[in-house]
Structure 1
Amino acid sequence: MIAKTLRTIGAAALGFGLMTGAGLAQGYPDKQVNYIIPFNAGGESDVAARLQQPVFEELTGQNMVIQYMAGAGGAQAWSQLNGMEADGYTIMGTNLPHIILQPMAQDVGYKTDDIANVYFFQYTPDALLVPADSEFQTLEDFVTFAEANPGLVTVAGSATNSANHVATTRLNELAGITTTYIPFSGTAPTMTALLGNQVQAAFSYTTSALSQGDAVRVLAVASEERVPSFPDVPTFKEAGYDMVGGAYRGVGVPSSTPEEVKTQISDALDKVNKDEGFIQRMEDGGFVVIDVPYSEVPAFMAERRAEYEEIAPLMGIEAAN
């Protein structure tokens, strides 16, 4: 009787382990994971983390607690990452081009190589937005007005040396115009400024445009092809501007985290990224899901670094680092 009971308990435990652990190496995680977002709540980084959270918890059987450490366009959090516990149970959202361009531009308390990225999981194309009642009906209207009024048009974006800043600078260069970039601490305050008519336009992402619905007008998107969520919105390329770009988001850990643990975290996030329900919810929200595991991060980062170093001089940044 006792042996039968033990066999039953063992079988149940095995089944639970297969269900919750999903084959994760050495049972990682076996306790709560703290997920720090270096921006305010409500932006793309937060929204994506909120979509990851329930899938991670279902697959692992452990809680994922999302926390916020906003400030300095993410630099406040990234500069503190290496002082945090390096056991795999504190992870932090990372963003490109932020973590490459910020240290190139000035001393922000960290270097790009200080950030140990373990996975990149999504991408959002840049989009130029105006309020729904804006006088700018098309990208051509926007460019024509900016050309006639140098510096008068204010463009909001999420942080200095961010993807939004890069997009604004690139459009200025390609269109031969001058606009004034106004950085905010994240996507949510950027949208608040736009909808409150504190600025005339905003460079944000397709995800933001989707979430704002009829409150905004999308003038163009920086993707190779039209985004399915906005079939009537042209790409910048269609309008004659060779602009394709946006923000890549991943997860980093303290650099002293053991290599085995970095791989375990990557494996756990990869399982989340391959969940069909997660993929569908991400795509419905305007995100593009990508899979860049820990083993492929160095090559991915090298490619991105080369791209941003080429753009940096247009932003007045010396590509020395």
Structure 2
Amino acid sequence: MYPNHSPRLLRRRLLRTLFALPLGLACAAHGPALAAQDWPAKPITLIVPYPAGGNSDTIARLVAENLRKQLGTDIIVENKGGAGATIGARAAASAAPDGYTLLLAPTAVMAITPHLRTVPYKPSEFAPVANVSGSYGIVAARKDLPANTMDELVELAKSQPGKLTFGSAGPATATHLAGVMVARAAGIDLMHVPYKGSIEALNDLLGGQIDLIFDPVALSQVKAGKLKALASSSQRRNPELPDVSTLKELGYDVDTRSWFGLFVPAGTPEPVIDKIATGLEAALAQPEITDVMLKFSQFPQFQGPEAFARRIADDDAFFKRLITDEGIKVE
């Protein structure tokens, strides 16, 4: 080997090789970290699996604007609605796991819909980044309903089982399951009337065609005096309705488990996920975020990747049991 090289030159070559080995191993080991340092190098797409104009879209645009300031790159909101959010979810799951495609999704996409019908994605195809917000749910009644409190509603419902109606954004949506949970906790029988969306249900409640909805969309009409709020179905009182007690305060053990979360395709490098989560935490800490979210019955509720993953697993098991126990089906 190297017959024309001196022993001193051979020793130099050997030392260079030995020193290069750990350096090469170190570079390989820190590859993802180096990639995260260079990320983001181009605009990010944030997919919303619903049409423009709803709560999902509003939250996504709020997140995009404030996360852009933290990450230093443009975030483009892309609405891919249809098929109960499954089209947008499939598009996000199919994207490259490089941190340049995000998905904003509610509880239903990850913990409810997959238990009800075949969907073109698997929750395991996503990695949780962070919980973004929680919802101030409202038990809202038509103005002339002869019940002004939850106890009076329960008494009225028990006097005419199955006669009182509640509307929802559709079968097995969070607003449907919220009504099921409240009815079960109160020991009453309500008739479910599904709609194509929350606005349609709200309009029929205002028109007196139905009796109740369990939906934060009612907030503005409650404040306008056109509907009455019997309780908050979230775990805390809505600051916009400080005199309206939570169901838990009234003795009804109900947690509607309503949230919006941020996801990336599975396989996205952990340092990139952590960088997004850190940026989101800083964005959600801005006081103006709370003020804006409050206008549509939401509140910032940050949880990092690990805590949020545990929450999703718990909610998934909860809704699977609820759907099975209640025999809920989607035709």
Match of 1:168 in 2: 179
- When structure 1 is superposed on structure 2, of 278-287 and 97-106 the one drifting more is 278-287
Q: What is the CA distance between 1:267 and its match in structure 2?
A: 2.8
1:228 aligns with 2:239: yes
After superposition, the C-alpha distances for 1:145-196 in whole angstroms (9 at most, x for unaligned) are 4334333333222343333222211122223322222334544444344334
1:62 and 2:73 equivalent? yes
Per-residue deviation, 1:124? 0.8
Structure 1 residues 23-172: aligned runs within 5 Å: 25-172=36-183
Letter in structure 2 aligned against 1:129: A
- Classify 1:169/1:274 alpha carbon distance in 2 versus 1 (closer, same or farther; 3 Å): same
Q: Deviations over 1:115-140 (max 9, x none)?
A: 32211111113221123454443334
When normalised by structure 1's length, the TM-score is 0.78
Counterpart residue type for residue 274 of structure 1: A
What value does the CA root-mean-square deviation take over the aligned residues? 2.9
CA displacement at 1:316 relative to structure 2? 1.6
Count of aligned pairs between the two proteins: 293
Give the conservation status (yes or no) of the 8 Å contact 1:82–1:256: no
Distance in 2 between residues matched to 1:120 and 1:264, nearest whole Å: 15
Residue in structure 1 matched with residue 310 of structure 2 by the alignment: 299
Correspondence for 1:242 = 253
- Code of the residue aligned with 2:240 in structure 1: it is S
Question: 257, 265, 288: which is aligned to 1:254?
Answer: 265
Q: Distance in 1 between matches of 2:129 and 2:104?
A: 10
2:194 to 171, 183, 190: 183
Question: CA 1:292–1:220 in structure 2 vs 1: closer, same or farther (change >3 Å)?
Answer: same
CA spacing shift, 1:37–1:198, aligned 2, 3 Å: farther
* Counterpart code for 2:247: F
Gaps of 5+ in 2: 1-34
| CA 1:66–1:193: 2 relative to 1, 3 Å | farther
Counterpart CA distance in 1 for 2:87 and 2:141 is 29
Letter in 1 for 2:137: D
8 Å Cα contact 2:142-2:210 kept in structure 1: no
Cα distance change on mapping 1:38 and 1:264 into 2, 3 Å: same
For 2:294 and 2:325, the matched residues in 1 are separated by 32
Partner residue of 2:219 out of 210, 213, 229: 210
**Distance verdict in 2 for CA 1:149–1:111, change over 3 Å:** farther
* 2:213 partner amino acid: A
1:271 aligns with 2:262: no
| Deviations 1:59-83, CA, capped at 9 Å, x for gaps | 3443323232233432332244322
Cα offset for 1:220?
1.0
1:103 is matched by which residue type in structure 2? P
Aligned pair in 2 of structure 1 residues 192, 183: CA closer, same or farther (>3 Å)?
same
Identical positions, percent: 27
Contact residue 92 and residue 101 of structure 2 kept, 8 A: no
In 2, the alpha carbon distance for the partners of 1:41 and 1:198 equals 27
Pair 1:200-2:214 in alignment? no
Pick from 264, 273, 281 the counterpart of residue 292 of structure 2: 281
Structure 1 runs not aligned, ≥5 long = 1-23
